[in-house]
Amino acid sequence: MAAIQQSLSTSISSSASTFLGQNKLRFRNQNVSMPGKTSGIVRCVATPSTEKTSYKTQVSRNENLAKLQAGYLFPEIARRRSAHMLKHPDAQIISLGIGDTTEPIPEVITSAMAKRAHELSTLNGYSGYGAEQGEKQLRASIASTYYANVGLEENEIFVSDGAKSDISRLQVLFGSNVSMAVQDPSYPAYVDSSVIMGQTGQFQKDVEKYGNIAYMRCTPENGFFPDLSSVPRTDIIFFCSPNNPTGSAASREQLTKLVQFAKDNGSILVYDSAYAMYICDDSPKSIFEIPGAKEVAIEVSSFSKYAGFTGVRLGWTAIPKALLYSDGFPVAKDFNRIVCTSFNGASNIAQAGGLACLSPDGFKAMMDVVGYYKENTQIIMDTFNSLGYKVYGGKNAPYVWVHFPGRSSWEVFSEILEKTHVVTTPGSGFGPGGEGFVRVSAFGHRENVIEACRRFKELYK
């Protein structure tokens, strides 16, 4: 006989989608993130069986997934944020943690997407599958806008649903029998995708590193550029500039050394330029500005942080024809096969938006959005500088890298969240080199950034 049980149920989502897209405080509308409404629920509960059986398949779990430590960084932050909301239901949460854009997409761009969407409802305007590599006009526009001075052609551009997706596709391209080097600290997707592909050894808890990965330490002491003389030879080198999370952009001289290092070792350099439009000094915006880079480099980029396309999803990967494997086979041909096998091309609506981004009016609108976030960055930098903290990044990137010497990154993250209700990102989540640092994102509404900085001053004055 079933027993009747009365319970209250509160649903708090710890998924990445909740963190990325919902429960954001927007001071301009005076909305406060609140936990879900509770309600009484009557449930029928079956009497427990004396024997419990659990069917299991005969398929073994992918042993590489078992190597991964805890959860992916940003969903873990979302989980802690949700727990904090449950504990403090009336708190006004401000999120300056994940690098998700907050300002509306410029109308010159959304109107082009709306027009394309409406055309799909007409007989003449409808289109189905497109080219997996991207629409010809968009590929040509990317080449002429970002690579005209370095001679890259449209057929060397592969349009995608974002840089993060392409990082994983590139790992599939490389396979499991390659070795890799990565900046430390760096965007966690590089390491995690390498682990999943089976390129690494086990996680070594004593040093917080995976075996078979070369961690290129980037610190204030070396200007956030690794000492290449101490880096072993690897097949693949992941390098991001401006760097996420440190916000540091490599100079022309530094990138020249990096390209030569790749050549000397016969390595392939995967260069992530997702924040290139934030560069305001003479640092290169593309790796292909460096002589010889076409023979050793792949460049991954995105519209996410320029046009607010974090939800629209549109990016690209540039692979020169001159990039060859050891047997002389073009890398681009294999990547084309990967794309055609695992991807049906970016949304035609998103590609219409990308084309609008690269129109004169659209490009100006993107630069205005970038300028807005850079002003936020300056406010955050000024705040921590006034409090006596060592602050890095900010100039060429939407991230501020704040040093809390002698303290655990997660400890500082928790302190800030508990005492100011502001979400940041612990530096150790980007690798062992990030311990003692916290990343503060400039992606936020201006009034939220100002309020967060007021709270920082109250906490650390």
Q: Do 379 and 303 share a domain, yes or no?
A: no
Inter-residue contact 33 to 85 (CB < 8 Å): yes
Q: Do 114 and 239 share a domain, yes or no?
A: yes
Give the residues across from 45 on adjacent strands: 3
Alpha helices of 22-128 — where are they, by DSSP H? 73-87, 107-119
Q: Do 222 and 126 share a domain, yes or no?
A: yes
Among 361, 383, 406, the domain-final residue is 361
Q: Do 391 and 370 share a domain, yes or no?
A: yes
Other residues' Cβ atoms within 10 Å of the Cβ of residue 385: 14
Q: What is the pLDDT of residue 162?
A: 97
Asked, for residue 52, whether it belongs to a domain, the answer is no
Among 343, 361, 379, the domain-final residue is 361
Asked, for residue 412, whether it belongs to a domain, the answer is yes
- Give the separation between CA 83 and CA 410, rounded to whole angstroms: 15
pLDDT in tens, the chain (461 residues): 444 444 434 333 333 333 333 343 333 444 434 344 444 444 444 455 556 779 999 999 999 999 998 777 888 898 899 999 999 999 999 999 989 999 999 999 999 999 999 999 999 999 999 999 999 999 999 999 999 999 999 999 999 999 999 999 999 999 999 999 999 999 999 999 999 999 999 999 999 999 999 999 999 999 999 999 999 999 999 999 999 999 999 999 999 999 999 999 999 999 999 999 999 999 999 999 999 999 999 999 999 999 999 999 999 999 999 999 999 999 999 999 999 999 999 999 999 999 999 999 999 999 999 999 999 999 999 999 999 999 999 999 999 999 999 999 999 999 999 999 999 999 999 999 999 999 999 999 999 999 999 999 999 99
Among 333, 361, 389, the domain-final residue is 361
Q: What angle do CA 139, 156, 200 make, to 5 degrees?
A: 115
Q: What is the pLDDT of residue 51?
A: 62
DSSP state string for 152-164: --GGGEEEES-HH
Asked, for residue 252, whether it belongs to a domain, the answer is yes
Q: Phi and psi dihedrals of 186, rounded to 5?
A: -160, 170
Give residues with Cβ within 8 angstroms of 205, minimum separation 6: none
Asked, for residue 378, whether it belongs to a domain, the answer is yes
- Give the separation between CA 202 and CA 211, rounded to whole angstroms: 6
Q: What is the pLDDT of residue 120?
A: 98
Asked, for residue 55, whether it belongs to a domain, the answer is no
Q: Do 128 and 230 share a domain, yes or no?
A: yes
**CATH label of the domain that carries residue 190:** 3.40.640.10
- The 3 state secondary structure assigned to 421-448 is CEECEEHHHHCHHHCCEEEEECCCCHHH
Asked, for residue 59, whether it belongs to a domain, the answer is no
Q: Do 332 and 449 share a domain, yes or no?
A: no
Give residues with Cβ within 8 angstroms of 448, minimum separation 6: 25, 26, 27, 94, 96, 102
**CA-wise closest residue to 302 among 316, 281, 284:** 316
Q: Do 340 and 376 share a domain, yes or no?
A: no
Tokens describing residue 376: 């936020």
Q: Which residue has the tokens 């779990």?
A: 61
Q: What is the pLDDT of residue 192?
A: 96
**Domain count of the fold of the chain:** 2
Q: What is the pLDDT of residue 202?
A: 95
Q: Do 157 and 22 share a domain, yes or no?
A: no
Q: What is the pLDDT of residue 38?
A: 40
**CATH label of the domain that carries residue 409:** 3.90.1150.10
CA atoms within 13 A on the CB side of 43: 11
Asked, for residue 377, whether it belongs to a domain, the answer is yes
- Give the separation between CA 305 and CA 442, rounded to whole angstroms: 11
Other residues' Cβ atoms within 10 Å of the Cβ of residue 253: 10
Alpha helices of 270-347 — where are they, by DSSP H? 304-307, 331-342
Residue span of the structural domain in which 395 resides:
1-47+67-96+365-461
Q: What is the pLDDT of residue 76?
A: 87
Q: Do 14 and 135 share a domain, yes or no?
A: no
DSSP code at position 142:
H
DSSP code at position 46:
P
Q: Do 119 and 33 share a domain, yes or no?
A: no
Q: Do 340 and 400 share a domain, yes or no?
A: no
Q: What is the pLDDT of residue 48?
A: 54
Q: What is the pLDDT of residue 36?
A: 43
Q: Do 396 and 337 share a domain, yes or no?
A: no
- Helix (H) / strand (E) element for 213: namely strand 213-217
**CA-wise closest residue to 424 among 436, 438, 445, 407:** 438
Asked, for residue 457, whether it belongs to a domain, the answer is yes
- Give the separation between CA 161 and CA 310, rounded to whole angstroms: 10
3-state secondary structure of 216: strand
